[in-house]
Structure 1
Amino acid sequence: MENGNGPSSCCNGNGNSNGAPSPPHVAMLVTPGMGHLIPLAELAKLLASRHGATATLVTFASTASATQRAFLASLPPAVSSLALPPVDLSDLPRGAAIETLMSEECARSVPALTDILLRLRRTTRLVAFVADLFGADSFDAARAAGVARRYLFFPTNLHVLTLILHLPELDVSVPGEFRDLAEPLRLPGCVPIPGPDVLMPLQDKSNPSYKWMVHHGAKYREADAILVNSFDAVEPGPAKILRQPAPGRPAVFPIGPLIQADRGSSDGPCPCIEWLDRQPDRSVIFVSFGSGGALPTEQMRELALGLELSGQRFLWVVRSPSDEGAVNDNYYDAESKKDPFAYLPEGFVERTKDVGLVVPSWAPQIRVLAHRATGGFLTHCGWNSVLESLVYGVPMVAWPLYAEQRQNAVMLSEGVGAAIRVPESKGREKIAAAVREVMEGEGKGAAVRAKVAELQKAAAEGLREGGAAATALAEVVGTWTCGEN
């Protein structure tokens, strides 16, 4: 169902009712998760505002949430949306990994997607198809529909892309489990990744999600190019390697950071922001585990006591714990399942009321990170959150949960030096020490704060006209010439 801002109609896709050429149109497949939708939508908006293109975001029935519908309805007229019909996944085992669910849903949607692309070819000047990281099987639909150019949009970083591109050969050369590797995994240009920190869906080779990731690694090579939501300064090693042409590998274009541009300031009063307005500059650590993360009860308790022990001001988005499920239980639904305050240590909220604010389920993250009072971010290291933190110059305390987050935490803390990682034990004293260090430490904390300020500047420069990211995207758009369809 379209959001009401449909793509321009034209006769055979060559012109509009006035006879003028139609704008180039791009179809984009969004696999489930707001973390996939938001950067792709920002790419679509950028293509419209800077390059005069229109776009259709194609979404899956499994994620037709109220949040997603509201987001799609807020997009400019140049960006429309269509939902694929539901597919039956009832034959998959209960508890199937998210990566498996997304990959299966995409593969089973290829016939319906082919029909949508054929329709778009008739009604628009469809110049390209873009799939995101779990949607590589949709290249089959684009090929069947005769779409001239097929791109992969990779919403996470160059380290993870390098790993997935190497997976078919690693599948053969690494005999046991990644978590049991005696030495860190070393890939061209990348920070060495200890085995237990390697991408979570690769940690059990008997799980179908592992086989899917190997499959995607091979399928990515069918793309004409790979667009990556990252930038050179945060990952200089793999950026240098991937910029060099390689046989059988698509060209790679870092075009980030693409983050949600609208801070939501028109949404009216917000208790979080009103509270931040009363705090000193750079004095508050923001604590949030993204739209899908939740902690086990014991870690939630230690975090509360660690924040209290740190003596720092804090704003904490809290959800009920994940003991009865996985740490990614909220992936499809960000709302807390139960009253999260019932799981906090007795008296915690009352004891910390002068320095802390605890809010259930959600806070306007962009507005919080952009606020002058925010001086640190305790984050799960989801890549969208990382990029938002860097764009607004907020140093990080890394507390990864799932997906590629542990790998991101290694890259941020051991590689570029933009974060301090909480030790695995997650004890309150160590949590307090990490928080204090990133907020006011004169050693490693000072270095992290300086590095983040440097990366903030590099990110802004790359996105300006003539900057590295803007130039990379313009190079891709430059291949969309009249009549290629």
Structure 2
Amino acid sequence: MANGARDDGSPARPPHVAMLATPGMGHLIPLAELARRLASRHGATATLLTFASTASATQRAFLASLPPGIASLRLPPVDLSDLPRGAAIETRMSEETARSVPAIAEALTKMKETTRLVAFVTDIFGTDAFDAARAAGVGRRYLFNPTNLHMLALLLRLPELDATVPGEFRDLAEPVRLPGCVPIPGSAILSPLQDKGDPCYRWMLHHAAGCREADAILVNSFDAVEPEAAAVLRQQQEPGRPPVYNVGPLILTETDTKSSPRAACLEWLDRQPARSVIFVSFGSGGALRTEQMRELALGLELSGQRFLWVVRSPSDQGAVSDNYYDAESKEDPFVFLPEGFVERTKDVGFLVSSWAPQIGVIAHEATGGFLTHCGWNSTLESLVHGVPMVAWPLYAEQHQNAVMLAEGIGAVIPVPEPKRKETVAGVVKELMAGEQKGAAVRATVAELQKAALEGLREGGAATTALAEVVEKWAT
């Protein structure tokens, strides 16, 4: 995009975009990658606004690794002590955003004085920040959906579903059917919608209404992974709905790690045959119950497959999202593994405590499968690198992602209930070496990889969609 010139003939300042990332690396990473793409392709600069509640060492290191044109600004802390101890993640994120609106407005006002601020972008839990952007006089306000079109379709239809679905989603006899989407069983619908009496349900309704305040909705997905939903949402026939742009896949770009030693798990992968290892990780926020962790361990052992497992301490009292705000295990997670497991599997398995360089692992030629919680960032990373998946969803939209990926396109094999060692072993063996369902999933993922990479090239679907958005900044 041409930046033009000022009235005095001097070059115009580059377009600047402010982006609000609500808590969670799964929200920050794709927004940061969107900023990277705007910088590299369109000469834009950006400021990522983050919250004090998630100012972890991991987040600070990530922000410090971004290129010079992408700045970050941490918002001042807000008091959330009045919230119940067990308040849902979605409630905490929403309250934190709503209480930060004055600070966001002030930050945007100052930004307008020092940059050519052309747009404000927030993710789906930050719709209250549109008030801040309006107060600061920011002309274009965009919603960024870090998940997929199925999630967006659900949000856009939520007020209607709220009015027409009696009782709880989990009790529905029939799946929820949305235009262009895979039918989703009520029990697999987005977890904050599973209890209408919980404040997070009202928050989701609030954000569903806020979606329609955006000038456009940018989605971290691509047509090939949910083609029917893409076709439906591309049609501009619904009054009051912003246009939808598929700008994905936006996944973590490898940062410069030359100065740090190579992770031991990558060195272990170097010694394994091609496509022979299944990577096991439940994202930065997920936690299994102790019994689930035991069955998973024994299932991996029983499968006879090579595995690389990011082990975290289990959570029996708290929620399966216990690690959301802090992914580091508070205790040694290995003490929860079955007795003798580490010794028995030392020749085929590699265990990592709490964290592994996921992109490096998934991109490694030895990695042939991924047992995943179906968080959307992890899913896209798998598809971009052509790695088929076993689905073990935990919370948020992960259950409906798993249904969409299994029933819609066949990119995953779900772990059936009950999740016992025999079922875990069966799906792991099928994914890695099976000649029926496993072979079909592997072939599907290879095709999706091609489509994802094609869309990111010059003239590709994602590149063209983003260029259409940027073009409006010149008017």
Per the TM superposition, whether the score is higher than 0.5 is yes
2:268 aligned partner? 275
1:37 aligned partner? 28
- Contact 1:284–1:376 (Cα < 8 Å) also in 2: yes
Alignment CA distance shift 1:59-1:441 (3 Å)? same
Instruction: Determine if the alignment matches structure 1 residue 141 to structure 2 residue 132.
Output: yes
- Contact 2:390–2:428 (Cα < 8 Å) also in 1: yes
Q: Quick one: distance in 1 between partners of 2:346 and 2:388?
A: 24
- Contact 1:264–1:367 (Cα < 8 Å) also in 2: no
Instruction: Determine if the alignment matches structure 1 residue 185 to structure 2 residue 176.
Output: yes
1:172 aligned partner? 163
Amino acid at match of 1:256: G
1:250 aligned partner? 242
Q: Quick one: distance in 2 between partners of 1:55 and 1:392?
A: 27
- Contact 1:318–1:361 (Cα < 8 Å) also in 2: yes
Q: What is the CA-CA distance between 1:133 and the residue it aligns to? A: 1.2
Select the residue among 201, 221, 228 that pairs with 1:230: 221
Instruction: Determine if the alignment matches structure 1 residue 436 to structure 2 residue 429.
Output: yes
Note the residue ranges of structure 2 that are not aligned, 5 or more in a row: none
Computed over aligned residues only, the root mean square deviation of the Cα atoms, in angstroms, reads 1.3
3-state SS of paired residue (1:455) = helix
1:381 aligned partner? 374
1:90 aligned partner? 81
3-state SS of paired residue (2:195) = coil
Instruction: Determine if the alignment matches structure 1 residue 77 to structure 2 residue 68.
Output: yes
Q: What is the CA-CA distance between 1:19 and the residue it aligns to? A: 3.0
Select the residue among 135, 138, 161 that pairs with 2:152: 161
Alignment CA distance shift 1:328-1:54 (3 Å)? same
2:254 aligned partner? 262
- Contact 2:16–2:118 (Cα < 8 Å) also in 1: yes
Q: Quick one: distance in 1 between partners of 2:86 and 2:309?
A: 29
1:211 aligned partner? 202
- Contact 2:65–2:256 (Cα < 8 Å) also in 1: no
1:320 aligned partner? 313
- Contact 1:335–1:361 (Cα < 8 Å) also in 2: yes
Q: Quick one: distance in 2 between partners of 1:480 and 1:358?
A: 48
- Contact 2:278–2:306 (Cα < 8 Å) also in 1: yes
Q: Quick one: distance in 1 between partners of 2:6 and 2:345?
A: 63
Q: Quick one: distance in 2 between partners of 1:274 and 1:298?
A: 31
Worse overlay, 260-269 or 296-305: 260-269
Q: What is the CA-CA distance between 1:231 and the residue it aligns to? A: 0.2
Select the residue among 291, 295, 303 that pairs with 1:310: 303
- Contact 2:196–2:202 (Cα < 8 Å) also in 1: yes
2:45 aligned partner? 54
Q: For residues 30-71 of structure 1, what are the alpha-carbon distances to aligned partners after superposition, in whole Å with 9 as ceiling and x for unaligned?
A: 100011000000000110110000101111111111111111
3-state SS of paired residue (1:376) = strand
How many aligned residue pairs are there? 469
2:324 aligned partner? 331
Amino acid at match of 2:69: A
Q: For residues 309-359 of structure 1, what are the alpha-carbon distances to aligned partners after superposition, in whole Å with 9 as ceiling and x for unaligned?
A: 001000000011111211111101111121111111110011111111111
Q: What is the CA-CA distance between 1:112 and the residue it aligns to? A: 1.0
Amino acid at match of 1:454: E
Amino acid at match of 2:210: K
Instruction: Determine if the alignment matches structure 1 residue 456 to structure 2 residue 449.
Output: yes
The alignment-based identity, stated in percent, is 76
2:120 aligned partner? 129
- Contact 1:263–1:367 (Cα < 8 Å) also in 2: no
Q: Quick one: distance in 1 between partners of 2:301 and 2:406?
A: 24
Select the residue among 269, 284, 290 that pairs with 1:291: 284
Q: Quick one: distance in 2 between partners of 1:157 and 1:107?
A: 24
- Contact 1:158–1:238 (Cα < 8 Å) also in 2: yes
Q: Quick one: distance in 2 between partners of 1:444 and 1:264?
A: 38
3-state SS of paired residue (1:378) = strand
3-state SS of paired residue (2:218) = strand
Q: For residues 415-450 of structure 1, what are the alpha-carbon distances to aligned partners after superposition, in whole Å with 9 as ceiling and x for unaligned?
A: 110000001210110000000111011111100000
Amino acid at match of 1:169: E
Alignment CA distance shift 1:18-1:120 (3 Å)? farther
2:383 aligned partner? 390
- Contact 2:20–2:48 (Cα < 8 Å) also in 1: yes
- Contact 1:318–1:359 (Cα < 8 Å) also in 2: yes
3-state SS of paired residue (2:278) = strand
- Contact 1:189–1:240 (Cα < 8 Å) also in 2: yes
Q: What is the CA-CA distance between 1:264 and the residue it aligns to? A: 5.4
Worse overlay, 88-97 or 385-394: 88-97
Q: Quick one: distance in 1 between partners of 2:387 and 2:232?
A: 28
Worse overlay, 403-412 or 114-123: 114-123
Instruction: Determine if the alignment matches structure 1 residue 408 to structure 2 residue 401.
Output: yes
- Contact 1:264–1:364 (Cα < 8 Å) also in 2: no
Alignment CA distance shift 1:284-1:265 (3 Å)? farther
3-state SS of paired residue (1:354) = coil
3-state SS of paired residue (2:381) = helix
Q: Quick one: distance in 1 between partners of 2:233 and 2:124?
A: 17
| TM-score when normalising by structure 1 | 0.95
Q: For residues 375-423 of structure 1, what are the alpha-carbon distances to aligned partners after superposition, in whole Å with 9 as ceiling and x for unaligned?
A: 0000000000000000000000000000000000001111110000001
Q: Quick one: distance in 2 between partners of 1:157 and 1:228?
A: 6
Q: For residues 47-100 of structure 1, what are the alpha-carbon distances to aligned partners after superposition, in whole Å with 9 as ceiling and x for unaligned?
A: 011000010111111111111111111111110111111111111111100000
Q: Quick one: distance in 2 between partners of 1:52 and 1:16?
A: 20
Alignment CA distance shift 1:18-1:333 (3 Å)? farther
- Contact 1:38–1:259 (Cα < 8 Å) also in 2: yes
3-state SS of paired residue (2:174) = coil
Q: Quick one: distance in 2 between partners of 1:337 and 1:380?
A: 21
3-state SS of paired residue (1:31) = coil
- Contact 1:263–1:366 (Cα < 8 Å) also in 2: no
Q: For residues 251-287 of structure 1, what are the alpha-carbon distances to aligned partners after superposition, in whole Å with 9 as ceiling and x for unaligned?
A: 0000000001116552322110111011101000000
3-state SS of paired residue (1:308) = helix
- Contact 1:265–1:367 (Cα < 8 Å) also in 2: no
